[in-house]
Structure 1
């Protein structure tokens, strides 16, 4: 297996970088540096001649993160057309497991925090951070069969689709249909330009695509739908060959800059000086729903899926491997942090505790996943050693 010379194209280093960035954000938010950094992050930057006037935090979560979602959408399209989800037989098992990984965490969260204003946080524990989960798998899973990674990848991609739908549908506000229609027109132009780029490869076409892409992003932002959806839209319509090149070009930037910056900004919250019993139910709902809800939901539904798989489908995974995938699925992180910001945008106190819940819940899931994956990998290495 060829190893990339650039660690930002790998799986382990970006995961470590993401964790360090979040830890640094949380640390600096709880030191005397808080006020100075908070003032910088709250600084507003407006685009002359438009209605766009966003804080640096919003430029990160709606601007930079749109590039991340562009890369995610390119991968989604590839997997749905030529990858692990390109047929019903391939998709049915991870789809059932993904359904469990969404429904059970929602149920757990609502049992704990379903009353009052915290109920709106139910989408937060449904996400899986695909980059982080694959990074942990790469760190601790030496010796695991490739089928575990394939199952986890398909599962996480389906989770991404569900998260994108939640962002687009649940957190739209005062939708303006004219900008949204114009954004669709811009996406159609972007699609046509991407086909022209594939056919002729002129640099001028690439520049035009970039301009149209930024225009589409601005129109989506002005429409009242979260601007990251623009990245999803453009990634899905881009012609396959330019899309693959774009993803390859952007991957180091996304892994080395965009995601760590977002993790730092999102984790820049003050730890409340209260006893654990005084923490918001949203905090506890997320802390339990991410590691417990995910591992139970994915493992249970995944086991059922393996029992009822159709003829011709992939061979059944052992339950221990499904359990490992379920633990990895509890690492919500990036998309969960975004959902926490969106779900409690009007309630800063609860939002900060929800973000802490995402960090703590994901960390618990990471530890569980590391332990389970290590045990499974050790077992497979012993079996391989015995067979040789």
Structure 2
């Protein structure tokens, strides 16, 4: 279990799962596997009828978003974002990490109306993957760099969640959404009930699980993307209970949920056409993730430094901001979800957009590995020099 709670191993697992999905999709039997992922599985007696791929993206991924929301709740109340001053530099940098990739995407997508629909895709940062790369290559980096990246990625996730909720709701049913919200409130109340009886505690936890499932069902039926139910539940749960549940779920999320999602999302047949025949969406994402994120986070991170109190050092130095910007270009989970949603009605463009996400994320990973390793060596040299100076004195 310790291995699955580490930051390195889950990132490797996620990359391997995505690579395996892409490989299998392009083997002779690949089309059959892709077709199988589109097979529908309904719950008898209910209006719920989803394909296997949607059970993964709407169901399993809601659990991942629940865990992200629990962490977000903690950071906003007790963690690194619990005051405006702490959140200022990463918040300003995160704005750049959203605005500039969108601008880069739209410039490259040009006037193609289908391609332009994917503008939210390069805004996301995969927290688990970015922290995993940081853990692998960043030995010796000071803790503020990790904190800056975590805050940046969490803010990015908030933006991604808002995009999913606002842009991709279909035929919204306000009545069913209202029922879902009421059930979230009931879930929040149940999580705050105190008891010393083991039997009563088990009953409350069982009720919480049933209410959470019901909330997910009603949000799904309302037309709002079902992952939003996970977000609302994660923000609503009592913090201590939420952190305990998150701790319990973490190995399953890292070992099962995210790899399955990455595998299913990467089941894309590589188009056998000339580069000129590919959708502008692919090129826009491929460039916007690595280049847009580095430029946006770097420029706005520098602007954020201007707001610190005079005479004080910045929380994170500019070269470290650039390294965090490269890490921010690793989109994977949320970017893949956004690609599936943005191009749901155009499967060919969707597949090319997914290739763009995978390619852009890998480019960002390589650039980040170089920059993070360079900064880590810099800080290790500083630590060695300081240690030598101390011992000689």
- What range describes the TM-score normalised by the shorter chain of this pair? over 0.9
Alignment of 1:125 with 2:135, yes or no, is no
Alignment of 1:164 with 2:161, yes or no, is yes
TM-score by length of 2: 0.95
Provide the C-alpha distance between the structure 2 equivalents of 1:120 and 1:38, rounded to a whole number of angstroms.
Answer: 24
Runs of 4+ in 1 over 4 A off after TM superposition: 197-201, 310-314
Alignment of 1:62 with 2:58, yes or no, is yes
Provide the C-alpha distance between the structure 2 equivalents of 1:198 and 1:300, rounded to a whole number of angstroms.
Answer: 51
TM-score by length of 1: 0.97
Q: Deviations over 1:321-350 (max 9, x none)?
A: 111111100101100000000000000000
Alignment of 1:193 with 2:202, yes or no, is no
Alignment of 1:307 with 2:306, yes or no, is yes
Q: 1:350 aligns to what?
A: 349
Q: In the alignment, is the contact (CA less than 8 A) between 2:144 and 2:315 conserved in 1?
A: no
Q: CA RMSD, aligned part only?
A: 1.4
Q: 1:12 aligns to what?
A: 8
Q: In the alignment, is the contact (CA less than 8 A) between 1:198 and 1:241 conserved in 2?
A: no
1:36 CA drift (Å): 2.6
Provide the C-alpha distance between the structure 1 equivalents of 2:196 and 2:285, rounded to a whole number of angstroms.
Answer: 48
Q: In the alignment, is the contact (CA less than 8 A) between 1:197 and 1:206 conserved in 2?
A: no
Provide the C-alpha distance between the structure 1 equivalents of 2:187 and 2:234, rounded to a whole number of angstroms.
Answer: 10
Alignment partner of 1:48 out of 39, 44, 47: 44
Alignment of 1:207 with 2:203, yes or no, is no
Provide the C-alpha distance between the structure 1 equivalents of 2:78 and 2:282, rounded to a whole number of angstroms.
Answer: 39
SS of 1:135's partner is helix
1:309 CA drift (Å): 2.1
Q: 1:321 aligns to what?
A: 320
1:21 CA drift (Å): 0.1
Q: How many residues align?
A: 384
Q: 1:151 aligns to what?
A: 148
Which moved further from structure 2: 138-147 or 38-47?
38-47
Q: 1:365 aligns to what?
A: 364
Q: 2:291 aligns to what?
A: 292
Unaligned runs of 5+ in 1: none
Unaligned runs of 5+ in 2: 388-393
Q: 1:273 aligns to what?
A: 272
Provide the C-alpha distance between the structure 1 equivalents of 2:318 and 2:140, rounded to a whole number of angstroms.
Answer: 17
Provide the C-alpha distance between the structure 2 equivalents of 1:343 and 1:319, rounded to a whole number of angstroms.
Answer: 34
Alignment of 1:139 with 2:142, yes or no, is no
Q: 2:260 aligns to what?
A: 261
Q: 2:281 aligns to what?
A: 282
Change (3 A) 1:72 1:311: farther
Q: In the alignment, is the contact (CA less than 8 A) between 1:9 and 1:255 conserved in 2?
A: yes
Provide the C-alpha distance between the structure 2 equivalents of 1:200 and 1:108, rounded to a whole number of angstroms.
Answer: 57
Q: 1:45-124 maps to which residues of 2 (within 5 A)?
A: 45-115=41-111, 116-124=113-121
Change (3 A) 1:188 1:159: same
1:200 CA drift (Å): 5.8
1:17 CA drift (Å): 0.1
Q: Deviations over 1:242-264 (max 9, x none)?
A: 10110000000000000000000
Q: Deviations over 1:101-133 (max 9, x none)?
A: 000000000001142211110000000001100
Q: 2:172 aligns to what?
A: 175
1:315 CA drift (Å): 3.5
SS of 1:73's partner is helix
Provide the C-alpha distance between the structure 2 equivalents of 1:142 and 1:198, rounded to a whole number of angstroms.
Answer: 44
Q: Deviations over 1:135-177 (max 9, x none)?
A: 0000000011111001101110100100000000000011001
